[in-house]
Amino acid sequence: MTAVRYVALWALIVLGLVTAYAFRPEAEYIYKRVAGAAMPSRPISSGGGVETFRKANDGHFYITAELNGREVELMVDTGATVIVLPPDDAEALGIAVSTLRFNRPFETANGRVMGAMTRIETIRIGQIDRQDVPAAIVPDVGKPLLG
């Protein structure tokens, strides 16, 4: 009788492994949905260059991106035309802020401010990679913005 139990147990283990293998795409999709709900700034990749993000509790959308190899959380700003970074974040990305000319006016939610244009070498959001992306360095911007 013990041998029958072992055979049944191994049959169940093999059946479970085959089932898990057969449903791995669905399991990956469920994992991405759960991870997206737990961490709204992380993308849910649905393939074809499409990344989906969930709205945070404060009503904004935040995206964790990799800029010049460093993770940065960006707030999505549909009114911005470029990525906007505070000087401290720009310095952390290897941008020499002290060499930039802050001579370009920007309209922000807090009024008009002077900023400097620069370029980010690489940006990665989920499966999307871009190089040589324009960005603005704006003092007192608060959070980095994705425009």
pLDDT at 57: 80
Specify the pLDDT at position 123: 94
Residues 75 and 64: beta-carbon distance below 8 Å: no
Query: How many whole angstroms separate alpha carbon 108 and alpha carbon 105?
Result: 10
- Looking at residues 118-141, what average pLDDT do you find? 91
**99: pLDDT strictly greater than 90:** yes
| Cα 46 to Cα 97, 112, 127, 141, distances in angstroms | 37, 39, 10, 32
Question: How far, in whole angstroms, is CA 60 from its chain's centroid?
Answer: 14
For the residues 9-34, what does the mean pLDDT come to? 82
Q: Read off the pLDDT of residues 52-98 as tens digits, 9 standing for 90 and up.
A: 777 778 888 888 899 999 999 998 888 888 999 999 999 999 999 99
pLDDT over 90 (residue 6): no
CATH topology of domain 41-146: Cathepsin D, subunit A; domain 1 (2.40.70)
Model confidence at 7: pLDDT above 90: no
Per residue in 28-57, pLDDT (tens digit) is: 777 766 666 666 556 666 666 677 777 778
Q: Where are the domains of the chain?
A: 1-38, 41-146
Supply the pTM of this predicted model: 0.67
102, pLDDT greater than 90: yes
Instruction: Work out whether the CA dihedral 46, 44, 95, 81 comes out positive or negative.
Output: positive
Residue 29: its pLDDT value, please? 72
At 90 the pLDDT is: 93
- Residue in the structure block whose two tokens are 């900023």: 115
